[in-house]
Amino acid sequence: MQTSKIDLNELAQLTELFYLFNSGRHLNRSTDAALWHELEQQAEQYQHLFTSLGFDLRIDGRGFAWFHDEDGNQNINKQSRQLALLLMVIFDHQADNGRSLGQFYQWTIDNTLLDEVYEKHQELLDAEELDQDALAKILDNAVRKGFAAQENNHWRLLTSVYRYLDHFEAITEQASESDVLAHEEDE
């Protein structure tokens, strides 16, 4: 078996990309075009090298990349669960207002929107001990992890949020299929 050789000289941003991904962050084409271009140009070599080092680099064609970790530590899982809950209630709110979920990266998320979301889903958010101030902190953490960008007095979701939207849509599809099966059994 012949192993392909990696020319580290061609991987100009190796250190920066490794530190970014290893810290649990996402790389987004829209917020870091230069690093994205480097990754795109040498994607196969970066993936091969990181795989050899025991990392699973995932590159999504919608414009984001990350180190996938099946295990994840408990703190990251808590943060991810909180972000997932917040995104779910934001998506629900936006859908109720006729906004296209696939255009989430164009939405402006400000304190007014967070107040509306909190008011609508207060019982659910309170059960998770998330008050209105916590919602802004979750979004600030999302900025650090590459899921959102802070712009003036608001946040904008980045394409890496597709990871959550894909899960939400899969859950919705499974629930819909279960409802159809339950209805067919009742007949």
Together in a domain, 50 and 102: no
**Domain range enclosing 48:** 8-68
50-72: pLDDT as tens digits: 999 999 999 999 999 999 887 65
Distance CA 14, CA 16 (A): 6
CATH classification at residue 39: 1.10.10
Nearest CA among 142, 80, 87, 140 for reference residue 113:
87
What is the chain's percent helix, strand, coil content, to nearest 5? 65, 10, 25
100-139: pLDDT as tens digits: 999 999 999 999 999 999 999 999 999 889 998 999 999 9
Together in a domain, 123 and 152: yes
Instruction: Compute, in degrees rounded to 10, the torsion defined by CA atoms 169, 17, 139, 104.
Output: -40
Together in a domain, 62 and 135: no
| Domain tally, the chain | 2
The reported pLDDT for the residue numbered 2 is 40
Together in a domain, 115 and 56: no
Cβ atoms of 160 and 26 within 8 Å: the answer is yes
Kindly indicate the confidence band of residue 187, based on its pLDDT and cuts at 50, 70 and 90: low
- Angle (CA) 131 167 90, round 5°: 35
Together in a domain, 81 and 149: yes
Question: Residue range 153-157: average pLDDT?
Answer: 96
